[in-house]
Amino acid sequence: MKKKYNSIIAITFVIIFIIALLFILFYSTCFGCNPKVTSLESTITNYCVFLTRNDCKDSSNSIIIDDFDANKDGKIDSADTLLELCKNYYDIDTDLECKIMCGCPEIEPSENTSTIPLPKTYDVAIRNFVYSLTITNIKVGDSVKWTNFDVNAHTATADDGSFDTGLLSKGESKTIVFDTAGTYVYHCSTHSWMMGKIVVK
């Protein structure tokens, strides 16, 4: 009985020794390394995706890489930026070129760039011998589209002769572009009491 007990104790110590040895080996080969270090390809991919998802507004020099030695100084710190990665591994020296490599547009977005509004088209329905908009305020470059819903034919004819839709049968439309500022009074040439006004600013 005593021999069996001693054998169990010996086996237990052997098992504990093996587990401790495996733990030491595992710690020295894995926990001793830097778990953050990743490959160059995955690093540039991940941080380029981050840049483009933010509409390329950030500078590549402001994006800190926390899992790769971007500037090749042997350590990972706040000096490791996306721009440093571009410089040291891709021979790219400028922020714009680095961002282009990541898929950003070649022209840098600017907050001061004003968006030029696209021309608009305003619809005027002709129904029951009435223009749906008797006064239409538009901007230079905009257009007005008249559509006739009456059985009778109608026109939109400028009093000064500057434009004329011609006779519009039921279901027909005509679009006129206004390139000059001013006030344009118009009427229906076949029904003179029908009147409207276009104010172009």
- Amino acid 195: pLDDT: 93
- Amino acid 46: pLDDT: 79
- Amino acid 77: pLDDT: 84
The model's pTM: 0.45
- Amino acid 147: pLDDT: 94
Distance separating alpha carbons of residues 132 and 128, to the nearest angstrom = 10
| Nearest residue to 102 via CA among 85, 117, 118 | 85
For the packed helices 40-53 and 82-90, what is the interaxial angle rounded to 10 degrees?
Answer: 140
Determine the distance from the C-alpha atom of residue 144 to the mean position of all C-alpha atoms in its chain, rounded to a whole number.
31
Which CATH fold would you assign to the domain 121-200?
A: Immunoglobulin-like (2.60.40)
Backbone angles phi, psi at 173, to 5 degrees: -135, 160
- Amino acid 33: pLDDT: 46
Residue boundaries of the structural domains of the chain: 40-101, 121-200
Strands 182-187 and 195-200: antiparallel
Collect the ranges in the chain with pLDDT lower than 70: 1-10, 13-14, 17, 21-38, 106-116
Q: What is the pLDDT of residues 15-31, one digit of tens each?
A: 776 777 666 655 554 44
- Amino acid 3: pLDDT: 55
- Amino acid 165: pLDDT: 96
Determine the distance from the C-alpha atom of residue 99 to the mean position of all C-alpha atoms in its chain, rounded to a whole number.
15
